[in-house]
Amino acid sequence: MLELLGDKPAAVLAYGSRLPLTLRRAEILALLDSRSQGWSAEELAYELHGDGGTPQAIRTEMFRVRSLLSDAVESNPYRLAPGLTGCSDSGRVLRLLRLLREGLVAEALEAYTAPLLSRSGVLAVQLLRDQLDMAVGSAVRASADVSLLMQWLTTDMGVGMLKRWKR
C-alpha cells in the first residue's frame, strides 16, 4: 500500500511496517500508480525534471526505489507489479468513486484525507492532484447530499470550491 495523500508519503509493507518515502520517490510512485502500462526512463525524466531531466538520473532513482520495494516495481517499462496499480490511498479514493452506483461517495470522501503529495510541485503530480480533486468534488455535487457537500467544502481540497461559490 502506498500512502500518497498529504505531506508524509510512505510505503506500507505486507507485514505492516511503514517505510517513509522521500518526496521524489513518492512522486515517481504516484506516476507509476497512475498508469498501468508503465513509463520509460525518458518519460519519467521529462515528467519529473522537464527538459533538463536525464534517463540516467531516473534509472539511479528507480534502482533505489526497487531496493526499497523489491518486486513491487518492474522495469522496462517502469511500472508497479501486476495487481499493485491503484494500491495507493489515492487509488482507493478513485476506486470508490467508480462505484457511485453503489453509493460509495461518502466512503470516498472519508478516504480522501488530504491532497495528493501536497508538497509536490511536479506538473504531472499536480495534474493528478487536480484530477482527484475534480473527481471527488464532482461526485459529491452529483450525489445531491447536502451533508456530503458541507463535509467536502470544509476540506483543504474543497475550500477552493467554496470561495468560487461565494464569488
Q: How far apart, in whole angstroms, are the C-alpha atoms of residue 30 and residue 90?
A: 9
For 107-131, give the DSSP string.
Answer: HHHHH--S-BTTT---HHHHHHHHH
Helix extents (H) in 14-104? 23-34, 41-49, 55-69, 89-98
**Distant-in-sequence, close-in-space partners of 115: CB < 8 Å, separation ≥ 6:** 5, 6, 129, 132, 133, 156, 157
**Quick one: average pLDDT of 145-149?**
90
Other C-beta atoms closer than 10 Å to the C-beta of 146 total: 8
31-54 residue pLDDT tens: 999 988 999 999 999 999 999 999
Within 8 A by CB and 6+ apart from 60, the residues are none
Looking at domain 2-80, its CATH class is mainly alpha
The answer to whether the CB of 120 falls within 8 A of the CB of 111 is no
- pLDDT band at 117; cut points 50, 70, 90: very high
pTM confidence score: 0.87
Contact 69, 28 (CB under 8 A): no
What pLDDT does 95 receive? 78
* Ranges of each domain in the chain: 2-80, 89-166
